[in-house]
Amino acid sequence: MKNVCIKIKSTQTAEGTDDKDTTELFTYGKMETIKDGFRLGYDESEATGFQGSHVVMEVFSDKVTVERKGRAVSSLIIERGKKHHCHYGTEYGDFMIGVNTDVVNSDLTADGGNIYLKYTLDINSSYMSENEMFINVQDCTQ
């Protein structure tokens, strides 16, 4: 496991609006090489609204999985060209969401790199939002 600095910029555009809601997070985490990809782990903060939760993200060439455990529990599968129905938990309740992915780009190596994701979310087959996520991972010492 390697100490890494993780920067995440997430932009969400809700249905029927041009308003973009952007969230940025900088955190320390751990990264390790796994078969065909990489595993990142970090703790959520108050800035994300999920303080008290731990995230494990597995990054592959065409798929990223995101597991959140702790105060909020969720599981997302973001896979290029596919739609997945996933469990999403919040402090206000849990629900199923559809994740339809357009883009998964990653140049992540054992030394760090970038991940770009573009996907839409729906609830009960009703479009909810278009999402973009930029993730930068760099080697760092805490």
- Residue pLDDT, tens place only, 38-93: 999 998 766 655 667 899 999 999 999 999 898 778 899 999 999 999 988 776 77
Using only C-alpha atoms, what is the Rg of the chain? 15
Residue ranges of domains in the chain, CATH in brackets: 2-73+104-117+130-139 (2.40.128.20)
* Mean pLDDT, the chain, whole residue set: 89
Range with the largest mean pLDDT of 8-12, 114-118, 138-142:
114-118
Q: What is the DSSP string of 29-73?
A: EEEEEETTEEEEEEE--GGGT-TTEEEEEEE-SSEEEEEEEESS-
What is the number of other CB atoms lying within 10 angstroms of the CB of residue 126?
8
